[in-house]
Amino acid sequence: MLAKLLSGMTAQRDADRSARRYRDLIRQEAKIGGELFGPIQPGGRREFFCLDRHTWVWHEEWTDQDGRHHAITTRFDIRPQGILKAQDGQPYRYVTKEEGKRFCAAVRLYNERVHAELYGVAL
């Protein structure tokens, strides 16, 4: 009985450690991704990352000259028919051809930098 309890506790600790490692890697990837689009304003935050095989997230926060805080989150869903985009709870819509090209270029650059800087692998 005690062995079974300890085994369960060890499995939970391992799962917690694995989840923590995954979150840390996502945070590091998001930071690298946020740097792809130029400098970030002091006090601002920008993240761009791959959540799963079909989902990308762009998040940006900043304070304007009047001291008001702004935040925008954009989610991109990759589908066989095209790239869907939703921003801050708005309905999904397909991106234009030009926006799709820019998105694909950002994804390529993201993959190159993340693999090189975080995982030490050149693509």
Does residue 122 surpass a pLDDT of 80?
no
Does residue 9 surpass a pLDDT of 70?
no
Structure confidence by residue, pLDDT tens digits, 66-98: 999 999 999 999 999 999 999 998 999 999 999
Structure confidence by residue, pLDDT tens digits, 21-31: 989 999 999 99
* Cα-to-chain-centroid distance, residue 82: 20
Alpha helices (H) in the chain, listed in sequence order: 2-34, 97-117
Return mean pLDDT, the chain. 90
Phi, psi of 42 (to 5 degrees): -55, 135
State the CB neighbour count (10 A cutoff) for residue 50: 19
What is the rounded CA–CA span in Å between residue 10 and residue 4? 10
In this structure, are strands 55-63 and 93-94 parallel, antiparallel, or unpaired? unpaired
